[in-house]
Structure 1
Amino acid sequence: MMGDGGVKAMLAKPIQLADQVTKWADDAHYFRQECQELKTKTERLASLLRQAARADLYERPARRIMVDTEQVLDKAFALVSKCRAGGLVKRVFTIIPAGAFKKMTMLLDNSIGDVSWLLRVSTASGEEDGDAHLGLPPIAQNEPILFLIWEQIATLQTGSLESRADAAASLVSLARDNDRYGKLIIEEDGVGPLLRLVKEGRLEGQENAALAIGLLARDTDSVEQMIKAGVCLVFAKVLKDGAMKVQAMVSWAISELAATYPKCQDTFAQNNVIRLLVGHLAFETVQEHSKYAITSKMSIHSVVMDNKNQNNPNNVQKNGMHADLIDTSDQSMIKHPNHGKQPQQKNQNQIHSVIEHTMKTKSAKATGLNGSMSSSGVKAREYEDPETKAYMKAMAARALWFLAKGNQAICKSITESKALLCFAVLLEKQTGDVQYNSAMALMEICRVAEDSADLRRSAFKPSSPAARAVVDQLLHVVEKAEFDDLLIPCIISLGCLSRTFRATETRIIGPLVKLLDEREGDVSREAVIALTKFACTENFLHTDHCKAIIAAGGAKHLVQLVYFGEQVAQVDALILLCYIALHVPDSEALAQAEILTVLEWSSKQACMIQDPTVEAILPEAKVRLELYQSRGVKNYH
C-alpha cells in the first residue's frame, strides 16, 4: 500500500489528461459521434481515477496500471485534437484511419477494466465473498502470474483472516512451483503481509504464511530482504508464545533461511531464538527448570545426591555408580566410563530415571525454562498430541542444526544449555526425523569443536555428563553399524572429537576399524577419514591411536581399500596408512601386511601422488618403513 502523497503524484496527470480529452471531445467539428463515444468512456475512466485518488492503493500494480493508463489517455487526447476545427487545409492534411476510434474505444475499455481491478484488489475486505476470485485485468494478458501474485498479496493486506489464510496457501503453491514466482512474491512486497499473518492469523493462516516464508528462502538476496523485513523478531515471538504447530513450521522456516544464508545465524541468535529452540527441544526430554539443569555449574552427581537424600539412600550407591560417573579431572580430554568395554546400558537408564524422578519431584517449583516459556504456555504444550510434539522436536533440532553450522558462538551457546543432553536422549529414544536431525545437529557442533580448542574444553570437558552421554550414543550407532541415515553423521562426529579422547579410551577405535570392511563405500570412506583424525600428527596421542588401529586389524582393511577401493577412497586409505607407517614404523603387523609394498605401488600411481597430503607424507613414510621393516624382516628369520 502507499501513502496519499504517492497516490496524488501518480494520478494527477492521468486525471488532467482525462479532463482535457472530455473537454476537447465537446469541441470536435469532425467525427462528432465517435468523439462523444470517447468522451463517455473517458468520463467513466476519470471517475474511477478520482475514486482511486481517495483510496489506499496497492502500490506495485498501481504504478504499472497508471503508466499504461496515461499512455492510453495521451493517445485519446491526440486523436480528439485532430477532430477540432482548424480550417480546410488542416482537414485535408489530417488523416484519421478508419479503425482509429474503434481501437481507441477498446484501449479505454481496457484501462477502465485495469483501474476497476486495482480498486477492487486494493480495497476488497474479503468479509462477504472471501472465496470470490477477482479475475485478471486486461493489462495482465502478457503476465498473468504477476497479477495473480498481486491479487494474493493484496488479499493478505486487506482480506479477512480466512481469505488471508487462503491467499497464503496460494502463495505457497506459487513459491513451490517456480523460483521466479518466489522472487516475484518478494519483489512485490509480499513478505510484510506474510509476516503480519504469522503474528495475527489463525492457526491455518499462520502455518501457511510460515511455510511460504520458508519456501521463499531460495537464494541469499531473498533471505537478506526477509531479514530486513523483520522475520527474526516475528519468528522469535512465535517461538515464545505461538501454537506448537505454528512454532514447528517457524522452526522449519528458520532452518531454511539459515541453510540458504548462513550470515543470518547471528541475527536469529540476537533475537533469543537459540534459547527458545532449546526450550522446545528440552520439553519432555529433560528437566524443565533451569535450577536443575545439568550445566557446568551443576554436575549429574548433585542431581543424583538430591534424589538420594529424598528417597532410598541405597538407590544410587549400588555398583559404585558415583565413582564410575564422576570424573573430577580438569584436563581437556574426555574420560569415558567403562574403558575398553561396551557401554553399560543399564547404568545409563538408571541415570535417566534418576534425572527424571528428580525433575518430577521438583516440578512444582518450576516457573519455566530460563523464563522463556510462560506457565500457561507450558500447560498448553502438555496437551498437544504426540505427533505434534515429535514434529516440534524434529524441527527445533533441524533449526539448531543449520544455525550451529560453522558458527562457534552459537555452538557455544547451544552447548552451554541443556541441548547436548537433549540430543543424546533424542538420539537414543526417538526415531525418524527427530533422531536424524539430532544427529546432524551434533555433527555440526562437533565439526566446529574440531577446530576450536575453546569449544572442546567447554562443551566436551571430562566432567560433563552430557558430553559423555553424547559420545555413548554416537558410539552406539557406530557399533550397530546399520547402514542408515544416522551412521555417517555419527562417524563424522566421533572423528571430529578425536582430540578429546585419552589414550586409555580405546573403545572408539575398534568399531570404526570394523567399518573399513563395510560394503557401502561412503561408510568405509568416512570411517577412514575419522580414523585419520585420530592417527594424524596433529593429534597429540597419534602414536597410541595408530597402535589401537593396528591392534583392531586395520592394516589389512586399509590395504584392500588402497588396492581395490574407489579412487577417492584409495587416496584417503593411503593417507591413513602413511600416518600409521610414520608413527609406528616398527610394527610387525605392518610388516606382515606388506605395507611397504603397498606404499611402493602407490608411489607409482599418478592419481594418488597428485594429492597434496600424499605428496607431503608418502616419501617420509616409505623411508621410515624401509628402515624399520628391513631390520624387522631379518629378525623374523
Structure 2
Amino acid sequence: MAASTAPTATTTTDREKTLQDELAFPILLTDRLIKSAGEAESSRSECVDISRQADELSHKLRAAVRLTSSPSSSSSIYDRPIRRIAADVAKNLERALTLVRKCKHTGLLRHVFLTITSSAADFKKVTNLLQSSIGDFSWLLSIYSDDEGGANLAIPPIARDDPIIAWVWSSIASLQINRQVKDRIDSANYLASLAGHNQRYRKVIVEEGAVSPLLRLLKDGGGSPEGQIAAATALYLLVDETERSGIVTNEGGIPIMVQVFAESCMSVQIAVAELVAKVAEIDPVAREVFGKENVLKPLISCLILDVDMEDYKRLYVGGGKNSIHSIVQKELAAKNYPNYTNRVLNHGNSSNSYHKVHSCSSFDSRTGGSSSRKERENASTEVKLKLKVNSALALWRLCEGSVFNSQKVAEPKGLFCLSKIIETERGELQYHCLMAIMEVAKVAEDNADLRKVAWKPSSPPAKAVLDQLLRVIKEESNLDIQIPAIKAIGCLARIFSAKETGIVSSLVGQLGNKDIGVAIEAAIALAKFACPDNHNCVSHSKTIIEFNGVPPLMKLLSASDRSRKQGLVLLCYLSMHVGNSKELAEARALKTLESAAKSGMAQNPEVREIFSRALHHLMLYQDGSHPHNHGFAVV
C-alpha cells in the first residue's frame, strides 16, 4: 500500500530538527519492534518475519544516518525526501509494534482476544507496510549514492500513486550532491522537461526545493556554460507566476542572475537575459531589485553590439566645459536628480566602462580563456542577434511601471542605442526596443522629472528617439510596431510645444487607418495632446482640426464601441477648446454629442464631466443652439 504523496507543510519546529533527530526515532522503533517480536508467545512465525524486516530496515536507517553525518555531505544533503520517508516509516513501525505487542502474553482469554483483534490479514498488512518502508529506504540510499549517475527514475513505494514526486526528489538530490557536471546538467534538463508539462509539476518542483540547487548551478555551472544554460532554462520554465518568482528572489537569485549575465559567455547571456525578462514580467518587486543590482548596464552593453554609437561618443564621451555632457551634468546636479550625475560621469570618464561586458567564459582558466572582444568578433550573426533580442526583451520588461529602471534606460546612451536599433533593425529586436521605449514613455507620462530631464525635444538622445517614432508611425505598415510608437508619442504629449505640428499631423494621419486598432490608438494619443492637463491643449486642438482630423474622427465614432468611446473623448476635447470651429459645425459635432448623451454613453464616469463641458461650448458657438433645448445634457 503506497502512502499518500501529497506535499505536507513543514513547521518551524520540524525544520529545526536535524536529520539525525528525524532518523533516531524510527531506529528506536526498530529496536523496540525486534525486542517485542522476540518476546512474542503467540503468532510466532509472523513475529519472526516482522523481526527480520525490522532488522533489515534498522540497517538501512543507520546507513542513512552515516550518510547524513559525514563531513562531505552533511552541509549539502538534500533532506526533504529523507524527512518525508522517515516520517512515513515511523508510522508503519508504530503500527507493527502495536500489533506485535499483543502477541506477548498467552492464556485462553488472551488467545481469544488475539483471534478477534489480530487476524492473518493484519499481519499481512503490516508486513506489506514494512516491506514498502524497506523499498523506500533502499531507493532513498540509491539517490545519494556516488555510484549512481544522474537522477534515479525508479519509483519507490511511497510514490507509487504519484511518480512525479520521486522523479523530482531524485533530480534535486542529483543536482545538490557534488557529482560530475554531466549528471547535474542532465538533472536540470530533466526538471525543465517536467516543468514544461503542466502547472502542477512546476508547483511540486518548487515546493520540493529545486530553486536553491538550480541557482547554485546557474552561478557556477559546474565548470561548464552548458550547466548554466540548463539551470537558466529550468528556472525560466518554473517562474511562471509571482509566488514562484518571489521564491527565486528570496533565495538570492537576482544578484546571481546579474553576476552571471555580466560575466558569462554569450550563449549563457542569451539564456539568462530571457530568464531576467520572465521574472521581471511577472514580478514588479523583482524589477526594482534587478535595477538596484545594476542589470541594465550589461543589458544595454549587449544591445550596443555592432551599433553605430558615434553620435553618442561625440556628444557625451569626454566632453569639455561647454559640451552637452557637461551642461546636462550640471543641470541634473542642480535638480538633485537621483543618482544621475554619477552615472553620467561614469559614461564620460571611460568609454570602456559602459561598453565592456565581461562575457568570456571564466571556466577555461587553464588555457587562458578568451576575451569578450574576441568572442564577440567570432560569434555568428544569429548568436549576436539572439542576444540582442533577449536583452531588449529584458529591458522592456524591466521598465514596465518602474521609475528607477526607466530613468536608467532614458540616459543618453540608452536612448541613442534604442533609436539606432529602431532605425536599422526589423523583426523581434526592433519590436522589443519599441516596447522598451513605450514603457519608459508611460512612466514619464506620470513623472515630471523624467520628462523634463530625459525627454526634452531639443536633447539629441530624445530627438533621435522621437524622430524614429515618427518615422515608424508615418512609414511603417506593421501594426505591431506602429501601435507602440503611437502609444509612446501619446504618453509624451506634454513635452511638445505648440509649434510641433508635425507630431500632431502624423497622428492625425493615422485616425483614418484601415486597421481599427491603429486608429483607436491614434485617437487616444491625440486626446492626450488635446487634454486640458496639457499646457498647449488649445494649440494642439487647433492643429488637429487644421490637418483635417475631424472627418476621420467622425468615421471612427461608428466603427465599434471602443472606438466610439475613445473618439468621443477626443471630440469632447476639441469641442471644449475650439467650439467655434466651422469644421466641427459642418461635421455636426453637437448632434453627435447629443446622441451620445441620449444613448447613455455620457454616463460613463470617465467622460461625464467632459461631455457636459463640450456640450456647453458647442451650444454657445453653433447656430440654432439654445441651452433650454438640451435638457438631456449631462450636468
Same fold (TM over 0.5): yes
Q: Which residue number in structure 2 is paired with residue 625 of structure 1?
A: 618
Greater CA deviation, 169-178 or 6-15?
169-178
Alignment partner of 2:602 out of 601, 609, 612: 609
Task: Report what 2:513 is aligned to.
Answer: 518
150, 165, 184: which one aligns with 1:146: 165
The answer to whether structure 1 residue 570 and structure 2 residue 564 are counterparts is yes
Pairing 1:92–2:85 present: no
Q: What is the 5 A alignment of 1:98-497?
A: 98-124=120-146, 126=148, 129-130=149-150, 133-158=152-177, 159-201=179-221, 202-287=224-309, 292=313, 294-295=315-316, 298=319, 367-369=352-354, 373=358, 376-497=371-492
Q: CA deviation at 1:481?
A: 4.6
**Alignment partners' CA distance in 1, 2:324 and 2:466:** 21
Q: Shift of residue 479 of structure 1?
A: 0.4
> What is the CA distance between 1:30 and its match in structure 2?
2.5
> Which stretch shifts more, 521-530 or 90-99?
90-99
1:11 equivalent in structure 2: 23
Distance 1:84 1:47 in 2: 25
Q: Which moved more, 1:178-187 or 1:527-536?
A: 178-187
Relative distance call for 1:26 and 1:289 in structure 2 (3 A) is farther
Closer/same/farther in 2, CA of residues 3 and 453 from structure 1, 3 Å limit: closer
Aligned-partner SS, 2:502: coil
C-alpha contact (below 8 Å) 1:555/1:593 kept by paired residues: yes
When normalised by structure 1's length, the TM-score is 0.84
Residue type of the alignment partner of 1:489: P
Separation in 1 of the partners of 2:582 and 2:180? 80
Residue pair 1:294, 1:418 contacting (<8 A) in 2 also:
no
Aligned match of 1:31 in 20, 37, 43? 43
Please list, as runs of the form range in 1=range in 2, the aligned pairs for 1:583-594 lying within 5 A after superposition.
583-594=577-588
On the 8 A contact 1:368/1:378 being kept in 2, the answer is: no
Alignment match of 1:550 (pick from 533, 545, 550): 545
Q: How far apart, CA to CA, are the structure 2 residues paired with 1:125 and 1:269?
A: 44
Percent identity (aligned): 38
**1:604 Cα shift?**
1.5
Letter in 1 for 2:157: P
Q: Secondary structure at the match of 1:99?
A: helix
CA–CA separation in structure 2 for the residues paired with 1:204 and 1:289: 38
For the 8 Å contact 1:124–1:155, the answer to whether it is kept is no
- 1:277-331: CA deviation from partner (whole Å, max 9, x where unpaired): 12212232244999x37549859x9699xxxxxxxxxxxxxxxxxxxxx99xx99
Label 1:143 to 1:432 Cα distance change in 2 as closer, same or farther (>3 A): same
Q: 1:121-174: CA deviations, max 9, x gaps? A: 234465xx34x7440100102222122111111111124211211211222122
Q: Find the aligned partners of 2:288 and 2:473 in 1 and give their Cα distance.
A: 33
Q: Distance in 1 between matches of 2:299 and 2:132?
A: 52
CA shift for structure 1 position 440: 0.5
Note if 1:539 corresponds to 2:534. yes
Return 544-553 or 457-466, whichever deviates more: 457-466
Name the CA distance, whole Å, in 2 between partners of 1:92 and 1:261. Answer: 67
Q: Is the 8 A contact 2:29 2:93 kept in 1?
A: yes
Calculate the TM-score normalised by the size of structure 2.
0.84
Q: How many residues align?
A: 568
Gaps of 5+ in 2: 1-13, 69-76, 333-349, 361-370, 626-635
Give the 3 Å change call, closer, same or farther, for CA 90–561 of structure 1 in structure 2: same
Amino acid at match of 1:508: I
Q: Distance in 2 between matches of 1:125 and 1:532?
A: 70
Whether the 8 Å CA contact 1:125–1:160 is kept in 2: the answer is no
Q: Tell me if the contact between 2:42 and 2:106 (Cα under 8 Å) persists in the aligned partners.
A: no
Match of 2:83 among 45, 63, 66: 63
Taking structure 1 as reference, are residues 476 and 298 closer, same or farther at Cα in structure 2, changes over 3 Å only?
farther
1:518-544 per-residue CA deviation (whole Å, 9 max, x = no partner) reads: 222211110100000111111111122
Could you report, residue by residue, the CA deviation over 1:443-490 in whole angstroms, capped at 9, with x for unpaired residues?
000011111111011111244211111111111111025143111101
The letter for the 2-side match of 1:555 is V
Contact 2:317 2:351 in 1 (8 A): no
Q: Structure 1 pair 374/144, CA: closer, same or farther in 2 (3 Å)? A: closer
Task: Give 3-state SS (helix, strand or coil) of 1:518's partner.
Answer: coil
2-structure distance, mates of 1:83, 1:576: 90
- Give the Cα–Cα distance (whole angstroms) in 2 for the partners of residues 527 and 4 of structure 1: 61
Aligned to 1:356: none
Amino acid at match of 1:14: P
1:484/1:612 CA distance change after superposition, 3 Å: same
Q: Deviations over 1:373-394 (max 9, x none)?
A: 4792233233221111111111
Retained in 1: the 8 A contact 2:388–2:429?
yes
- The residue identity in structure 2 corresponding to 1:30 is S
Which sections of structure 1, spanning at least 5 residues, go unmatched? 305-325, 332-364, 633-637
Q: In 2 relative to 1, CA 274–506 (structure 1 residues): closer, same or farther, beyond 3 Å? A: same
Deviations 1:602-631 (A, max 9, x none): 22221x112224321223222322322329
The residue type equivalent to 1:278 in the other structure is I
Contact 1:282–1:418 (Cα < 8 Å) also in 2? no
Q: Cα offset for 1:370?
A: 6.4
The aligned amino acid for 2:586 is: Q
Amino acid corresponding to residue 620 of structure 2 in structure 1? L
Q: What letter corresponds to residue 149 of structure 1 in structure 2?
A: V
Once the two structures are superposed, residues 488-540 of structure 1 have per-residue CA deviations (whole angstroms, 9 ceiling, x without a partner) of 10110011111111222211122211211122221111010000011111111
Q: CA RMSD in A?
A: 2.8
Task: Tell me if the contact between 1:289 and 1:368 (Cα under 8 Å) persists in the aligned partners.
Answer: no
Contact 1:289 1:367 in 2 (8 A): no
- Corresponding position: 1:579 with 2:554: no
Q: Which amino acid aligns with 1:160?
A: Q
